[in-house]
Structure 1
Amino acid sequence: MTRLTGTGRDTLNYPDRGATRRRPLPAGYHHLHHRTPIGHGREVFEAAGAAVREFRMHRATGASVRADGPAVPGARVEVGLGVGRLRITVPCEVIWVPDAPDRAGFAYGTRAGHPESGEESFLVELAEDGTVWFEVTAFSRPAAWYTRLGGPLVPVLQLGYARLLGRHLRRLAAAA
């Protein structure tokens, strides 16, 4: 696959790299946290983790994804959202992946040209009782005129997309 570099969109457009890994999230941004159960057991966890790392969860929602490969730190990702003339491509970079046997997923940060500025993590966790949880954590603020114009609607859309990801990941994990 062609590397997604050299496009003029290679720099992160926010200073708080890696901040979705810790709490509290940085001030000055809208914060999002969504957590939902998606199944039970190691098999569901493994299937869900693979679907997240390979961007199949995002693609299942109808988003297009161009990536350097699976989610590893430094990987460039471009996600296409919307339809027709309203479709936008948002450039991101994978910032971190969890390093634990019962956690899988990644966090990506926005690069120059993204309509938002911030970071979002998509994590799957296998709890001690066997419940498999999907969690989205994000901090963001507008970086384009149309997201500033969207004002309070943007966080509502972000939460709706997080919920949609959870529903599709539940289906993908159950099918494995």
Structure 2
Amino acid sequence: MSDVNYPEQGGTRRTPLPPGYHHLHEEVPIGRGPEVLAAAGEAITTFRMHRAAGAVIRADAPRAAPGVAVEVSLGIGPLRLRAPCRVVWTVAEEDRIGFAYGTREGHPECGEEAFLAERRPDGSVWFVVTAFSRPAARLTRFGGPLVPVAQRQYARHLGRTLRRLANPRRGGRTP
């Protein structure tokens, strides 16, 4: 039994996303070829991308797998925002690698977020974030329209971080 705090578990795997939530879909180009896909997938599924982007990650396991509990923390000291999650699905296919986690009690939002590296038919590799969420705490309700803006900016920051991690010899630049 899962302890996520929303009923649409796995909702980021399909479209349309569940109604009644803010929807996020961001795509960031990160490079080309199978080596970039493999490096990006490794950075995503081992939480290295999140850590390199400045988040503190505590997880039950070193790699994302269904059922793994994860706490993502951002900020410092008393301003640190803690977000408990649970990995709800993973994918490791020839052209797609990643996972999604769902929010648990104590998370400032309610919903799910997926992080994928995808190789397209032209060989380009993209970081794709898909999410649905709504406020679950006073802080996020108070933040109102600023919360989706912050989520979009954080997704783009993760994409730039992943580009750097997946292309170490190119300095993160796409060809």
Provide TM-score, normalisation by structure 1.
0.92
- Amino acid in structure 2 at the alignment position of 1:133: W
**1:141 correspondence with 2:134:** yes
Match of 2:163 in 1: 170
Deviation track 1:8-57 (CA, whole Å, cap 9, x = no partner) reads xx721111100000000011000000011100011111000000000000
Q: List aligned pairs for 1:95-110, cutoff 5 A.
A: 95-110=88-103
Superposed displacement of residue 143, structure 1: 0.3
Match of 1:66 in 2: 58
- Amino acid in structure 2 at the alignment position of 1:48: A
Contact 2:90 2:99 in 1 (8 A): yes
State the superposition RMSD in angstroms. Answer: 1.1
Q: Secondary structure at the match of 1:48?
A: helix
The list of structure 1 runs, each at least 4 consecutive aligned residues, that deviate by more than 2 angstroms after superposition, is none
Deviation track 1:100-154 (CA, whole Å, cap 9, x = no partner) reads 2210010000001101000000000111211001100000000001100000000
Correspondent of 1:20 among 12, 15, 20: 12
Distance 2:4 2:148 in 1: 21
Contact 2:118 2:127 in 1 (8 A): yes
**1:44 correspondence with 2:36:** yes
Superposed displacement of residue 83, structure 1: 2.0
- Amino acid in structure 1 at the alignment position of 2:113: E
- Amino acid in structure 2 at the alignment position of 1:77: V
Query: How many pairs are equivalent?
Result: 167
Distance 1:113 1:58 in 2: 20
**1:113 correspondence with 2:106:** yes
Match of 1:157 in 2: 150
Match of 2:122 in 1: 129
Superposed displacement of residue 84, structure 1: 2.3
- Amino acid in structure 1 at the alignment position of 2:11: A
Q: Secondary structure at the match of 1:97?
A: strand
TM-aligned CA distance change 1:73 to 1:118, over 3 Å: same
Distance 2:93 2:44 in 1: 15
Unaligned runs of 5+ in 1: 1-9
Overall identity of the aligned pairs, in %: 63
Distance 1:153 1:84 in 2: 22
Distance 1:143 1:103 in 2: 31
